[in-house]
C-alpha cells in the first residue's frame, strides 16, 4: 500500500464496519474481553483507514464486514474543518416561527427558545462541527421545536418535561455516529426529533403537548 493510500481518512461507515466485525469475533470466541475492549477503543479513535486494517487482519475471513443492505445508504454527515472555530447560535420564536434548513453550518452549541411559537431545525443537509457533536439547549413554553436528523446520528435526550414532552421517532443511530445532545426544558410544549425512518412529522407532538 502506498503512502498516499495509507493516509486516506476513516469515516463513520468504516469505523462502524470494523466495530461490527470485532463484535462478531468476540461473540464467536475469537477475541477475549480485554482484546475486544482494546480493539474497539482503537477503532473508535482511528483517524485513517490503515489504522483499522490491523485490528481485524488476524480474524477469520468469514467475519469480514458484510455488504450494506440494498437501499440503506451509508451515513452522510459533512464535517467542518478541524480548525473551524466553535460557534454558538441563538434561535428565538415568540408568537411566531423560526427555522434553519438546507445547506447551513450548524453551531457546536445552540439555544432554542420557543414561546407560543415553533422552531424547525433540519440537520440532514447541514455541515456538522468537526468533532461530530451538536449541543442544543431548548426552552419551550406553549410551543414546539422539531429537529430532523440524518442517518447515523445518536440523540442524547436530557430535556426536563413539565406538562410537556420530548421524544424521537425513526432514528437510525450508529455506534460511532455523530451525536446530538438535547438539554433544557419543555413546559406545556413539545420537542421532537425525527430520523430517516420516521412515519411522519412531529407536528402532533407540539399539538398534543400544548393541550
Task: Let me know if 10 is exposed, middle or buried by CB neighbors in 10 A (0-12, 13-18, 19+).
Answer: buried
Helix (H, G, I), strand (E, B) or coil at 209: helix
pLDDT band at 34 (very low <50, low <70, confident <90, very high): confident
The C-alpha atoms of residue 159 and residue 136 are separated, in whole angstroms, by 10
Residue pair 97/123 in contact (Cβ under 8 Å)? The answer is no
Mean pLDDT of 101-106: 81
The C-alpha atoms of residue 109 and residue 129 are separated, in whole angstroms, by 9
pLDDT band at 204 (very low <50, low <70, confident <90, very high): very low
Mean pLDDT of 1-23: 73
Instruction: Count CB neighbours of 126 within 10 A.
Output: 21
Given a cut of 50, is residue 209 above it in pLDDT?
no
pTM (two decimals)? 0.60
Q: What is the pLDDT of residue 119?
A: 96
Mean pLDDT of 33-43: 86
Calculate the average pLDDT of the chain.
80
Q: What is the pLDDT of residue 139?
A: 96
**Beta bridge partners of residue 183, listed in sequence order:** 137
Given a cut of 80, is residue 33 above it in pLDDT?
yes
Per-domain residue ranges for the chain?
Answer: 3-63, 78-210
Bridging pattern class, strands 109-115 and 160-162? unpaired
The C-alpha atoms of residue 86 and residue 202 are separated, in whole angstroms, by 29
Mean pLDDT of 134-150: 95
Q: What is the pLDDT of residue 138?
A: 96
Helix (H, G, I), strand (E, B) or coil at 149: coil
Amino acid at each position: 500500500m502506498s503512502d498516499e493510500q495509507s493516509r486516506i481518512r476513516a469515516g463513520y461507515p468504516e469505523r462502524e464496519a470494523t466495530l461490527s466485525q470485532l463484535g462478531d469475533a468476540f461473540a464467536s470466541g475469537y477475541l477475549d474481553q480485554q482484546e475486544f475492549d482494546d480493539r474497539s477503543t482503537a477503532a473508535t479513535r482511528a483517524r485513517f483507514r490503515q489504522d483499522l486494517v490491523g485490528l481485524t487482519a488476524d480474524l477469520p475471513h468469514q467475519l469480514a464486514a458484510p455488504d450494506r443492505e440494498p437501499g440503506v445508504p451509508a451515513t452522510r454527515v459533512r464535517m467542518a474543518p478541524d480548525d473551524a472555530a466553535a460557534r454558538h447560535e441563538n434561535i428565538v420564536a415568540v408568537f411566531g416561527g423560526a427555522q434553519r434548513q438546507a445547506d447551513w453550518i450548524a453551531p457546536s452549541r445552540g439555544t432554542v427558545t420557543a414561546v407560543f411559537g415553533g422552531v424547525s431545525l433540519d440537520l440532514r443537509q447541514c455541515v456538522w462541527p468537526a468533532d461530530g457533536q451538536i449541543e442544543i439547549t431548548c426552552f419551550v413554553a406553549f410551543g414546539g421545536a422539531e429537529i430532523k436528523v440524518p442517518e447515523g446520528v445518536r440523540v442524547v435526550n436530557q430535556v426536563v418535561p413539565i406538562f410537556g414532552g420530548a421524544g424521537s421517532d425513526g432514528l437510525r443511530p450508529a455506534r460511532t455516529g455523530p451525536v446530538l445532545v438535547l438539554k433544557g426544558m419543555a413546559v406545556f410544549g413539545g420537542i421532537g426529533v425525527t430520523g430517516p425512518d420516521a412515519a411522519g412529522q412531529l407536528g402532533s407532538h407540539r399539538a398534543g403537548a400544548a393541550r
